[in-house]
């Protein structure tokens, strides 16, 4: 009898041991295909349709619920529809784990290991059409696909696809896609169907554990309205955070430590917005990268973009490719000059392209010039040491300063003309250049130097002006006014420096997207949309369980 009890106990333990893996089985599946189709309606709403094919791996928990992330909370769950193999699924709820998003309960249509199933889902979402920040005549749509936590996903998807059905009335000549700072982000296919433009982006053999982005702009009058989100108050957010933090640690921490933490956080945020290069340009094994131009060397040192654009202008003036006139205070007009057989840098060509029909510089095109220039610099620097390369170009700059200091007075204009592009790499070039720019050396018409090309007023009192000053100042006066005019000139080209640089930084060195795994049986991640282009309406994370 005792032996029989022991034998029964052993069987019970074995049965429990065998049943535990099955009970503890987690989700592990392959996403064979993921297709998203967005149709823009004339009322400004967007219908989002997904078709996602899942193949659970052996030993995986059956896929019984699928979470799909949505661009925002302005969706109408009453419009949600889902089906598998033609069988309608009626249990669709707001997701407990993916915010914003929905969870679709598959019920009897759950997908078991060894089988494949395609979930079809559709829902209508509002507030996805934004103003195009580049052109007020356009409206904009940006979208990121839902994705799944990598710990639940096996291998790569055979096909990932985003299709935009732009609103009725769009034509190929009046729409544009968003490149997100990349030249390879153009649509895989463009067509014109049912009185509307259709864009399709495709990726093959890529993981479904990251989002994929697409964007397009179209005429604003083709939709009823656009959504302009209220701008968050930085001061209000900072004040709220301060109060919360202060209330929590007031009795534990001296007040000066709290103030120091806030100061460091604000300063760090401002500093990061000036860093338009990613933290690392590649594995540094190749030493110094020679052959960079002064503007490229300035970019590598992350000098202010107003300083970089001044160097670009210097180069084009030296090549006599452009002429500049100052029509009124801070209103500069640019004119391209014919030069046969002249070889230009790619960014110089882009700068000339930025000259609009009124001979002003288009700031949107200038931003694209900088993002492309930074991207090209990253490729050039691949495998080279950024630190050693910066030291090399700083040594060229220092040598140029030594030559200026040791130059005889009568040779100084020629020396300045030859070295100014390298001198301007110095963050303190304005202060250092002042003592060498005596008015007598810069009297117009004396000699044919680079400074003769700097803008002069096209209207004024007739007083003799010093090139580069542009404010009707006579030759007599402080030499430092010449340097100050360079500052005014370069700043006027890009406008508000912080905003201009921030728009580029969002593309070339975007802040990291914080991700946190879903809990329970879900796969998925939280969402932080960081749209750097014309309009933001990004889908967040999703998952399956």
Please report, in tens digits, the pLDDT of each residue of the chain (545 residues total).
444 444 444 444 334 344 444 334 588 899 999 999 999 999 999 999 999 999 999 888 899 999 999 999 999 999 999 999 999 999 999 988 888 899 999 999 999 999 999 999 999 999 999 998 888 899 999 999 998 888 889 899 999 999 999 999 999 999 999 887 676 778 999 999 999 999 999 999 999 988 888 999 999 999 999 988 776 555 666 667 666 666 655 555 555 555 555 555 545 555 444 455 555 444 444 688 889 999 999 888 888 888 888 888 888 888 888 888 877 777 888 889 888 778 899 999 999 999 998 888 888 888 888 888 888 888 888 878 888 888 899 999 999 888 888 888 777 777 777 787 888 888 777 777 767 665 444 444 444 444 455 554 444 433 333 333 332 333 333 334 445 566 677 777 777 666 676 667 666 555 544 333 332 233 333 333 333 334 444 444 444 45
Domain boundaries of the chain, sorted by first residue: 29-229+513-544, 234-273, 294-497
Distances (CA, A) of 219 to 42, 192, 498, 528: 12, 16, 29, 28
CATH number 3.30.70.600 is the correct assignment for the domain at 29-229+513-544: no
CB 125, CB 45: distance < 8 Å: yes
> Which residue, among 219, 193, 209, has the nearest Cα to 136 in the 3D structure?
219
Q: Which pLDDT belongs to residue 221? A: 93
Q: Please give the angle made by the CA atoms of 127, 133 and 135, to the nearest 5 degrees.
A: 115
Q: Which pLDDT belongs to residue 186? A: 86
Scan for tokens 């998203």, then name that residue: 36
51 - beta bridge partners? 35, 120
- Sheet with strand 65-69: strands edge to edge: 92-94, 101-105, 65-69, 543-544
Scan for tokens 């982006």, then name that residue: 201
Residues in the chain, overall count: 545
CB atoms within 10 A of CB 214: 23
How far is residue 399's CA from residue 410's CA, in Å, rounded to a whole number?
Answer: 20
């Amino acid at each position: 009898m005792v032996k029989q009890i022991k034998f029964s106990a052993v069987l019970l333990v074995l049965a429990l041991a065998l049943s535990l893996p099955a009970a503890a089985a987690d989700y592990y599946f392959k996403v064979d295909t993921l297709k998203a189709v967005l149709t823009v309606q004339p009322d400004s709403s967007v219908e989002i349709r997904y078709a996602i094919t899942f193949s659970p791996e052996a030993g995986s928990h059956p896929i019984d619920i699928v979470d799909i992330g949505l661009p925002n909370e302005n969706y109408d769950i009453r419009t949600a529809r889902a089906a598998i193999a033609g069988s309608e699924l009626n249990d669709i709820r707001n997701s407990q784990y993916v915010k914003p998003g929905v969870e679709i309960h598959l019920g009897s249509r759950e997908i078991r290991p060894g089988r494949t199933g395609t979930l079809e889902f559709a829902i209508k979402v509002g507030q996805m059409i934004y103003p195009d920040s580049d052109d007020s005549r356009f409206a904009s749509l940006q979208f990121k696909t839902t994705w799944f936590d990598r710990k639940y996903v096996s291998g790569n998807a055979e096909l990932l696809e985003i299709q935009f059905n732009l609103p009725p009335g769009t034509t190929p000549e009046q729409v544009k896609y968003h490149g997100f700072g990349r030249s390879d982000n153009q649509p895989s296919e463009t067509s014109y169907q049912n009185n509307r433009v259709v864009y399709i982006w495709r990726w093959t053999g890529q993981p479904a554990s990251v989002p994929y982005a697409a964007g397009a702009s179209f005429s604003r009058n083709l939709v009823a309205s656009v959504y302009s989100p209220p701008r968050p108050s930085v001061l209000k957010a900072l004040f709220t955070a301060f109060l919360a933090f202060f209330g929590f640690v007031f009795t534990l921490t001296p007040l000066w430590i709290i103030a120091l933490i806030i100061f460091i956080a604000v300063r760090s945020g401002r500093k990061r917005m000036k860093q338009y290069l990613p933290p690392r340009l590649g594995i540094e094994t190749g030493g110094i990268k020679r052959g960079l131009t002064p503007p490229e060397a300035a970019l590598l040192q992350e000098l202010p973009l107003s300083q970089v654009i001044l160097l670009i202008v210097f180069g084009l003036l030296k090549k006599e490719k452009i002429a500049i006139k100052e029509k009124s205070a801070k209103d500069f007009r640019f004119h391209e000059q014919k030069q046969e057989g002249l070889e230009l840098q790619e960014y110089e060509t882009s700068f000339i392209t930025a000259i609009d029909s009124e001979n002003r510089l288009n700031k949107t095109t200038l931003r694209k010039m900088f993002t492309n220039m930074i991207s090209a610099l990253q490729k050039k620097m691949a495998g080279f040491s950024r630190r050693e390369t910066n030291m090399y170009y700083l040594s060229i700059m220092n040598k140029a300063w030594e030559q200026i200091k040791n130059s005889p007075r009568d040779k100084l204009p020629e020396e300045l003309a030859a070295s100014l592009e390298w001198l301007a790499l110095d963050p303190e070039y304005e202060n250092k250049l002042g003592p060498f720019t005596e008015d007598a050396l810069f009297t117009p018409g004396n000699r044919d130097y680079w400074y003769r090309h700097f803008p002069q007023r096209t209207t004024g009192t007739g007083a003799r002006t010093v090139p580069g000053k542009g404010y009707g100042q006579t030759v007599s006066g402080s030499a430092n006014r010449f340097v100050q005019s360079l500052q005014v000139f370069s700043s006027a080209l890009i406008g508000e420096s912080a905003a201009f640089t921030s728009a580029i930084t969002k593309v070339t060195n975007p802040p990291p997207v914080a991700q946190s795994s879903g809990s329970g049986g879900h796969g998925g991640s939280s969402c932080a949309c960081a749209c750097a282009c014309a309009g933001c309406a990004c889908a967040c994370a999703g998952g399956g369980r």
